[in-house]
Structure 1
Amino acid sequence: MAEPERTDDGRYVLIDGRRWRATDPAIPEDRRAELTRVLMAWRREVRRTKDTDAEAASRAGVQAAKVALGERGTPWWEQSDDERRARWSADVAAPDPG
Structure 2
Amino acid sequence: MSAGEHDEERWLVIDGRRWRRTDPAIPEELAAALRSHLGRGRSGVRSAKRAGDEEAIAAARRRVGLAKHGLGERGPYWWERPEPERVADARAALRDLDALPDPDPLRDD
TM-score over 0.5 for the pair? yes
Q: Which runs of 5+ in 2 are unaligned?
A: none
- In structure 2, relative to structure 1, the CA distance for the partners of 1:21 and 1:76 (3 Å cut) is same
Deviating beyond 4 angstroms after TM superposition, the runs of 4 or more aligned structure 1 residues are none
Among all aligned residue pairs of Structure 1 and Structure 2, give the percentage whose two residues are the same amino acid.
Answer: 47
Per the normalisation by structure 1, the TM-score is 0.84
Determine the C-alpha separation between the residues in 1 that align with 2:10 and 2:101: 29
- Bigger radius of gyration, 1 or 2? 2
The aligned residue for residue 71 of structure 2 is 69
Alignment of 1:36-47 (within 5 A): 36-47=35-46
Number of residue-to-residue matches in the alignment: 92
- TM-score calculated relative to the size of structure 2: 0.76
1:38-57 pair list within 5 angstroms:
38-50=37-49, 51-52=52-53, 53-57=55-59
**Which is helix-richer, 1 or 2?**
2
Using the TM superposition, give the Cα deviation of residue 32 of structure 1 relative to its aligned residue in structure 2, in angstroms.
1.1
Q: CA-atom RMSD, angstroms?
A: 1.6
